[in-house]
Amino acid sequence: MRRRDPPVKPLVFLFVTVLVDMIGYGIVVPLLPFYAREYAPGAALVGVLGSLYAAMQLFGGPFLGGLSDRVGRRPVLILCLIGASSAYLLLGLAGSLSMIFVAVALAGVAAGTLATSQAYIADITGLEDRARGMGVIGAAFGLGLMAGPVLGGLLSLYSPNAPAFAASALALCNAAFGFLVLPESLPQEDRTPTPLYRLGPLSQLRGVLWIGNIRILLLAVFLLNLSFTGFLNYKPTRG
């Protein structure tokens, strides 16, 4: 059965959600070396922090995806935004290296807005409109990554902690916006009553790998991200 065109408010919210999420990410991540160098200078520490963020995404992403199938997209999106706001606030208040690690880990766990937004789009669009809806998410992703580092650099001129506080405020305002205007997209009868103990990353990944040709797509995405992050971290040396 053909689904109706997506309502404007949810699309606006999803666009803003991903935009703000990527702006917050872009504001904070380039400044992590400056936060960390006060406690233990060195490139290795920055690499560990980046790997920690990705590792927590590995554990948090599948759980949040399964949770959104169980309880709906709206509460998971709002929860992720509140978690991101708390992580950035903790980073701005961090007075020790351990607090920085906790903040980065929490930010990684809460980084489920993009995947949940895509699931929301799939819920409210038909096959003929889905690519257009996903394009909205992709546009927000690119704009956020482009604007975040610029805003972070400008805010850092006022205070080293100002970018983290700004990212926290953006995420919290977005959570309030979603609470007020975002309807649920997944009807009760379409939800999957998966037990919580089966929402772990290994169980979820094993289930996904059994879906058709998804293994090839996952491998392609893995190689793309591997090459992209390697390019970003490449530092040419002079001979």
- Cα–Cα distance, 148 to 23 (Å, whole number): 4
pLDDT band at 79 (very low <50, low <70, confident <90, very high): very high
Same structural domain, 62 and 86? yes
Same structural domain, 20 and 91? yes
Chain centroid offset of residue 110 CA = 7
pLDDT band at 86 (very low <50, low <70, confident <90, very high): very high
User: Do the beta carbons of residue 174 and residue 20 sit within 8 Å?
Assistant: yes
Same structural domain, 40 and 141? yes
Same structural domain, 130 and 154? yes
Same structural domain, 95 and 80? yes
pLDDT given for residue 1 in this prediction: 41
pLDDT given for residue 239 in this prediction: 47
**Token pair 């690499």 is at which residue?**
47
In this predicted model, what pLDDT tens digit does every residue of 94-148 receive, in sequence order?
878 888 888 888 988 888 888 888 888 888 877 777 788 788 888 888 888 888 8
In this predicted model, what pLDDT tens digit does every residue of 163-176 receive, in sequence order?
889 889 988 988 98
Distances 89 to 11, 21, 77, 227 between C-alpha atoms, Å: 27, 14, 18, 31
If one counts the domains in the chain, the total is 2
Q: For the whole model, what pTM was predicted?
A: 0.81
Same structural domain, 135 and 26? yes
- Classify residue 176 by burial, with Cβ atoms within 10 Å: 0-12, 13-18, 19+: middle
Same structural domain, 192 and 173? yes
CA torsion sign for 26, 150, 20, 87 is positive
In this predicted model, what pLDDT tens digit does every residue of 195-239 receive, in sequence order?
766 666 666 666 666 666 677 777 777 777 677 666 555 445 454
Provide, rounded to the nearest whole percent, the portion of the chain with pLDDT above 90. Answer: 6
- Classify residue 24 by burial, with Cβ atoms within 10 Å: 0-12, 13-18, 19+: buried
Between 70 and 6, residue with greater pLDDT: 70
- Within-domain flag for 2: no
- Within-domain flag for 1: no
- Choose among 113, 68, 110: nearest CA to 89: 110
Same structural domain, 115 and 36? yes
Same structural domain, 146 and 191? yes
CATH of the domain at 154: 1.20.1250.20
**Token pair 């805003």 is at which residue?**
151
- Within-domain flag for 3: no
Question: Rounded mean pLDDT of the chain?
Answer: 78
Same structural domain, 132 and 230? no
Domain enclosing residue 210, as ranges = 200-239
pLDDT band at 89 (very low <50, low <70, confident <90, very high): very high
